[in-house]
Amino acid sequence: MTETTSSAAALDPGQAPDVRGARRFRNSSALVRNSDPVWQAAADHGLIDIQVEHESNNRLVVPGTGHAFANMVSCSYLGLNRHPKVLEGVVSAVRETGTIELMTSTTRIRPTIQGRLEEELSDLFGAEILPATTCTAVTAGILPLVASGHMAPGGPRVMVFDRFAHFSMSYVKAICAEESLVLTCDHNDLDFIADTCRKYPSVAYVGDGAYSMGGAAALDGLLELQERHGLYLFIDDSHSVSIIGERGEGYARSRTEVGELTTIVTSLGKGFGSGGGIALLDSRRKAEFLSRHGGPLGWSQDVSVPTIGAALGSAEVHRSPELGELQAALRANLDLFDELLPTPLAGNGLPVRRIDVGEADRAVALSAELYRRGYYSSAIFFPIVPRGEAGLRVMIRADMTAEEITAFIGHVRELLDQDLTDSPSR
Ligand SMILES: *Cc1c(COP(=O)(O)O)cnc(C)c1O
C-alpha cells in the first residue's frame, strides 16, 4: 500500500513486512479479481481455447467435432490475411533468403529484405519506417524515450494518456513514470490537455487515432495545441490502417504529416494482414536512435522473414486499385449491417460494432448460442465495458458475403427476443 516500508516494520517478527509497490499505474490484484470470473464464464461456455482448422475466414472447423463456424471477430478487415499476394510474399521471401530470420539483433545486422520493406512502406505511407515484431514492442520502446525527452527537444515531457488509450500504451505508464510525470485525461479532453500545456513547458499526448470502441482522436484540436504549445503527439492507428486513406495510411496519417513532434505507430497484424508493427517517423536518424535505445526494439527478435514477405505482398495490394475495391466492399458490408441492425456505432466508418444486451450472463449466453449456430462473436462485459453495458462485439470484413451478414443478424434478432439465460444450450 505504501511506497516504502520502514526498516523497523520489516524487522518486527510479529508483522510480515509490506513489500507492495505504489500501484499507481498497475494493480494486478484488481485486474485479476475483476476479469478472471469473466474469463471463467467464457471458458465454462466453451468460448475460449478453441482450436480450429482454417478453411476460410468465414469457415473455421473444430477438428473431430464436425462443428464449423464463421469468424465474426477477425481484425483482418480487408481479408488480406489470406490474400494470394500476401501468401505468395511469404513463400518467395523464405525462398529468396533461405532463412526464417538472422536471429541477430537488427541494431547490428539486418537482412536486405527488411531494408526493402522499410523502403516500400516508407514510400507507401510517406514517412521513415521502423519495423518491429509487434506494435506493442514499438510503443514500449518509444514512449519512455518520449517521457525522458529524447524524442524531441524540450527536456522531459509530462505524459498525458487518454483514458481510452489501448492497453498496449497504458501498460507502459509505470515505465514512463520513472522518467517524468504521468497523467490520465478523460477521453479527448482538450481542455485538460491545454491546461497541462500551460502549466508545464513540455507535454506529450498519448492515444489512439481511431478507437476500437468507436470514435476518433480530436485531431484538429490536438494539432492546434501542438502549434501553440509544442505538444508532442503519439498516435496509435492500429484500427484504421489499410481501411482508411487512399493508400491505407490510416485516419491520422491521412490528416497530418509525421514530424519532430508527431509519431504514429500501428500494428500490421490487423487490417494490413501481415503481422508485425511499425513506427512512422520523421527521420532515419530517429529510427537508428530507437533501435539502439528503444528496449525491445533492439534486444528482441527481429521481424521474421515470413512476416516481411507477407508485408511486402500486402504493400503490393495497397499500391494496386484492389485496395480501393476492398475498402469499398468493407463499406458496403458495414452499410448492410447498419441497415439491418442499427447500433450506436452505425455509420462511423470503422469495422467494429457492438450489440448491447445489458447483463454479462445474457451476453455470454447469447455468444454461446450464436457459436452453437455457427458464428463466433465476443461477449464483452465489465471491465472491458462498464457494468450493465455488456454485449457482443463483432468485426465486419470485406470478405463476408451479404448472405452471411444477413443470416447472422437474423439469428441475433431472433435470440435477442428470447430469454437466453434459460436456454438449454447453457
Ligand atoms: C491490436 C492493437 C495493438 C496491438 O498490436 P500488436 O501489433 O499485436 O502489438 C496495439 N494498439 C492498438 C490500438 C490495437 O488495437
Whether residue 38 is predicted with pLDDT greater than 90 in this model: the reply is no
Whether residue 81 is predicted with pLDDT greater than 50 in this model: the reply is yes
Centroid of ligand 1 to alpha carbon of 14 (angstroms): 47
Centroid of ligand 1 to alpha carbon of 293 (angstroms): 22
pLDDT at 420: 61
Q: Would you say the CB of residue 274 lies under 6 angstroms from ligand 1? A: no
Q: Where among 318, 338, 371 does a domain terminate? A: 318
Q: Would you say the CB of residue 166 lies under 6 angstroms from ligand 1? A: yes
CB contact at 8 A, 155 and 149: yes
Q: Are residues 213 and 358 in the same domain?
A: no
Q: Are residues 129 and 46 in the same domain?
A: no
Nearest atom, ligand 1, residue 239 CA: 15
Q: Where among 318, 353, 382 does a domain terminate? A: 318
Q: Are residues 201 and 266 in the same domain?
A: yes
pLDDT at 421: 55
Whether residue 4 is predicted with pLDDT greater than 90 in this model: the reply is no
pLDDT at 25: 93
Closest CA to 335 of 398, 268, 264, 251: 398
Q: Would you say the CB of residue 269 lies under 6 angstroms from ligand 1? A: yes
Nearest atom, ligand 1, residue 208 CA: 13
Q: Where among 270, 294, 318 does a domain terminate? A: 318
Q: Are residues 245 and 299 in the same domain?
A: yes
Mean pLDDT of 189-218: 95
Centroid of ligand 1 to alpha carbon of 159 (angstroms): 20
235-261 pLDDT per residue, tens: 999 999 999 999 999 999 999 999 999
pLDDT at 1: 43
Q: Would you say the CB of residue 136 lies under 6 angstroms from ligand 1? A: yes
Name the domain count of the chain: 2
Q: Are residues 234 and 371 in the same domain?
A: no
Question: What is the overall mean pLDDT for the chain?
Answer: 92
101-117 pLDDT per residue, tens: 999 888 899 999 999 99
294 three-state secondary structure: coil
pLDDT at 136: 97
pLDDT at 423: 47
391-416 pLDDT per residue, tens: 999 999 999 999 999 999 999 999 99
Most confident of 12-21, 31-40, 224-233: 224-233
Range of the domain at 329: 28-77+322-416
Q: Would you say the CB of residue 277 lies under 6 angstroms from ligand 1? A: yes
Centroid of ligand 1 to alpha carbon of 4 (angstroms): 35
Q: Would you say the CB of residue 307 lies under 6 angstroms from ligand 1? A: no
Closest CA to 164 of 386, 338, 353: 386
Cβ-Cβ contacts under 8 Å for 182 (sequence gap 6 or more): 25, 147, 158, 159, 161, 173, 176
Whether residue 90 is predicted with pLDDT greater than 90 in this model: the reply is yes
282 three-state secondary structure: coil
Q: Are residues 133 and 235 in the same domain?
A: yes
Centroid of ligand 1 to alpha carbon of 238 (angstroms): 6
Say what the pTM is: 0.92
Mean pLDDT of 117-126: 98
State the CATH number of the domain containing residue 205.
Answer: 3.40.640.10
CB atoms within 10 A of CB 103: 9
Instruction: Say if 161 falls within a structural domain.
Output: yes
